[in-house]
Every structure is written in structure tokens, then in C-alpha cells.
């Protein structure tokens, strides 16, 4: 998983390591802001022999679905806004989007959420706990 790619648009980059291993880097970015700067974007790196269905969802969330050992796996890459974000609507939109994306994944798929969240001490993180509790099947 890769956060903050700073790449424009979405696509795939083929990577070959020095040892000859091959990977595909799937990324979803955003267009430039008013100042010409690209601030977001997320991505996922997988071995090139895995056929993956890639979907960039937002500038902070992307996902792939692939088959491993005859089981479908969905991997979500998410880059959460910090809790010091001045606009609380950005945080609310992110967690609402993430919740909807998780709900859209088939219950038969193995679901992995890889991401980064940077909460600050003393901040209420109940909405994060709710997502993880839902994933664990508790109420």
C-alpha cells in the first residue's frame, strides 16, 4: 500500500526490482489544485502475476479485487485526514466514504484495509472504532 502518491489521474506503473521481481503499482490521484500542486493520491502495489481489478474511489481511497488461491480478496488502501484538519467536513466525508466502500464489498471476499490514520491525543475516534467493530462482526 502506498499513501500520498502525488500522481495525477489514475493508472498502473510496471516495476521491476533489481532482483528481477515484477510488480504493478496501481494508483489513483487527483487533478492539480488551483496552485498547480498535487496533494493527494493513494496506491497499491501487487505482484504482476496477480490479475487485479483496480478502482480509484477518491483521492484518499482506492481498492483492488484479485483472486488468490481460488478466493477473492479485496484490498482497500485509505489515507485518512489528520484529526487536526481544519475542515471537519473533510474527515466526515472520508469516514462516510470508507464506510460505504466497506459495505459494498461482497461478504464472500476476504477484506483487507490498509491505511494510515493520524489521530491526535484527546480526540474522539468513535467513528474509527465503529468501522473496525463492524468489520469484526460485532455490534
Residue at grid coordinates 478466493: 71
Report the pLDDT value the prediction gives residue 111, as an integer from 0 to 100: 92
pLDDT score for 37: 57
11 Cβ contact list (under 8 Å, min separation 6): 26, 27
**Cβ-contact 1, 35 below 8 angstroms:** no
pLDDT (tens digit per residue) in 21-66: 999 988 887 655 556 555 567 888 888 888 899 998 888 888 999 9
R_g over Cα of the chain: 16
Whether residue 68 has pLDDT greater than 50 = yes
| Structural domain spans, the chain | 2-136
Average pLDDT over residues 131-136: 44
What is the sign, positive or negative, of the torsion defined by CA atoms of 98, 99, 101, 106? positive
Cα–Cα nearest to 43, from 75, 91, 90? 75
Distance of CA 6 to the CA centre of its chain: 14
Quick check: 124 pLDDT over 70?
Answer: no
C-alpha cell at 16: 521491476
CA angle 39, 7, 12 (to 5 degrees): 150
Amino acid at each position: 500500500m502506498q499513501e500520498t502518491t502525488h500522481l495525477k489521474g489514475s493508472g498502473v506503473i510496471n516495476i521491476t526490482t533489481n532482483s528481477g521481481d515484477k510488480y504493478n503499482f496501481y494508483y489513483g490521484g487527483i487533478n492539480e489544485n488551483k496552485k498547480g500542486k498535487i496533494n493527494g493520491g493513494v496506491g497499491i502495489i501487487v505482484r504482476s502475476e496477480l490479475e487485479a481489478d483496480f478502482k480509484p474511489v477518491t483521492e484518499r481511497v482506492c481498492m483492488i479485487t484479485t483472486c488468490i488461491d481460488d478466493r477473492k480478496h479485496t484490498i482497500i488502501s485509505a489515507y485518512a485526514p489528520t484529526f487536526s484538519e481544519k475542515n471537519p467536513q473533510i474527515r466526515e466525508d472520508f469516514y462516510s466514504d470508507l464506510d460505504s466502500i466497506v459495505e459494498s464489498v461482497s461478504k464472500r471476499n476476504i477484506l483487507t484495509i490498509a491505511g494510515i490514520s493520524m489521530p491526535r491525543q484527546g480526540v474522539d475516534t468513535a467513528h474509527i472504532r465503529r468501522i473496525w467493530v463492524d468489520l469484526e462482526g460485532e455490534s
